[in-house]
């Protein structure tokens, strides 16, 4: 059975070290929190509010401040291209990081200390989750682009829905190089050469798998 574009995309991400487990093998990240939840949890983390209290009702001014901070942080992440989600649907996978980030920015206002050295690490974790959420689509598009390029040059005797197994690895190598810069990685030029050589050998063969025989007239 021919590998699908999604299968090849997953192999691209594994080659680049972006995702060790394919998206199809991971449970979907559908659980989300709103910005109010982030603000409330940040107040609890700073011990401004108890875990069994509703800070929005008991400490409305503090809650409003926390909400403004959480919203500003969210908008900053979106503006930097790190986050792609709405403030009303923050993935649960980054909720702890968002709470800690909000609490750290609020801490001085409540006379509490925050360790600025943790900021980069927390933002890096948020960036990582965001990258993993968008990576499959980017990798699959890279596979499609590789096929479109080969097809336009007459080097693909198959459709993108029935890529032969002997062409799969060249597709993965080419797609990985194509998408690598979007992940801040450098393309592997040697792999590009190997892939193009392998595809050239495949194209030089007829569908029977035997070398092409030239006829002279």
Tell me the C-alpha distance between 66 and 23, whole Å. 34
Structure confidence at residue 40 as a pLDDT band (50, 70, 90): very high
Residues contacting residue 209 through CB under 8 Å, at least 6 positions apart? none
Instruction: Domain of residue 176: give its range.
Output: 5-18+135-203
Asked, for residue 185, whether it belongs to a domain, the answer is yes
Tell me the C-alpha distance between 21 and 10, whole Å. 8
Per-residue pLDDT reduced to its tens digit, 51-78: 888 888 888 999 999 999 999 999 999 9
Helix, strand, coil percent content, the chain, rounded in steps of 5: 65, 0, 35
What confidence score (pLDDT) does residue 11 get?
93
Q: Write the Ramachandran bin of 59: left for phi over 0, alpha for psi from -120 to 50, otherwise beta.
A: beta
Asked, for residue 56, whether it belongs to a domain, the answer is yes
What confidence score (pLDDT) does residue 217 get?
39
Asked, for residue 40, whether it belongs to a domain, the answer is yes
- Domain match, 109 and 35 both: yes
What confidence score (pLDDT) does residue 194 get?
93
Closest CA to 23 of 35, 10, 36, 34: 10
Q: What percent of the chain has pLDDT over 70?
A: 89
- Domain match, 74 and 139 both: no
Alpha carbon 88 to chain centroid distance?
A: 20
Q: What is the mean pLDDT of the chain?
A: 86
What confidence score (pLDDT) does residue 205 get?
63
Residue at which a domain ends, from 55, 81, 114: 114
- Domain match, 106 and 38 both: yes
- Domain match, 11 and 39 both: no
- Domain match, 89 and 37 both: yes
Tell me the C-alpha distance between 176 and 203, whole Å. 21
| Mean pLDDT to the nearest integer, 198-206 | 77
Closest CA to 15 of 133, 165, 192, 158: 192
Per-residue pLDDT reduced to its tens digit, 85-138: 899 999 998 999 999 999 999 999 988 887 877 888 888 888 888 888 888 999
The domain tally of the chain equals: 2
Q: Token pair for residue 34?
A: 């709103």
Asked, for residue 129, whether it belongs to a domain, the answer is no
Asked, for residue 139, whether it belongs to a domain, the answer is yes
Q: What is the DSSP string of 79-136?
A: HTTS--S-TTSEEGGGHHHHHHHHHHHHGGGGT----THHHHHHHHHHHHHHHHHHHH
What confidence score (pLDDT) does residue 116 get?
79
What confidence score (pLDDT) does residue 113 get?
82
- Domain match, 106 and 37 both: yes
Residues contacting residue 211 through CB under 8 Å, at least 6 positions apart? 204, 205
Tell me the C-alpha distance between 89 and 208, whole Å. 53
Three-class DSSP category at 138: helix
- Domain match, 106 and 166 both: no
């Amino acid at each position: 059975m021919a590998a699908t574009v999604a299968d090849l995309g997953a192999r691209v991400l594994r080659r680049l070290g972006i995702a060790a487990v394919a998206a199809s093998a991971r449970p979907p990240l559908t659980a989300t929190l709103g910005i109010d939840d982030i603000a409330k949890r940040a107040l609890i983390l700073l011990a401004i509010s108890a875990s069994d209290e509703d800070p929005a009702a008991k400490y409305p001014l503090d809650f409003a401040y926390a909400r403004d901070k959480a919203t500003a942080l969210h908008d900053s992440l979106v503006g930097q291209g790190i986050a792609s989600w709405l403030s009303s649907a923050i993935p649960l996978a980054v909720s702890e990081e968002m709470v800690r980030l909000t609490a750290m920015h609020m801490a001085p206002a409540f006379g509490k200390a925050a360790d600025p050295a943790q900021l980069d690490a927390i933002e890096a974790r948020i960036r990582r989750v965001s990258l993993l959420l968008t990576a499959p689509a980017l990798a699959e598009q890279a596979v499609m682009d590789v096929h479109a390029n080969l097809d336009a040059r007459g080097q693909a005797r198959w459709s993108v829905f029935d890529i032969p197994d002997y062409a799969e690895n060249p597709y993965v190598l080419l797609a990985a190089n194509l998408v690598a810069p979007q992940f801040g990685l450098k393309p592997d030029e040697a792999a590009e050469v190997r892939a193009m050589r392998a595809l050239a050998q495949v194209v030089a063969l007829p569908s029977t798998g035997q070398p092409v025989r030239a006829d002279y007239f």
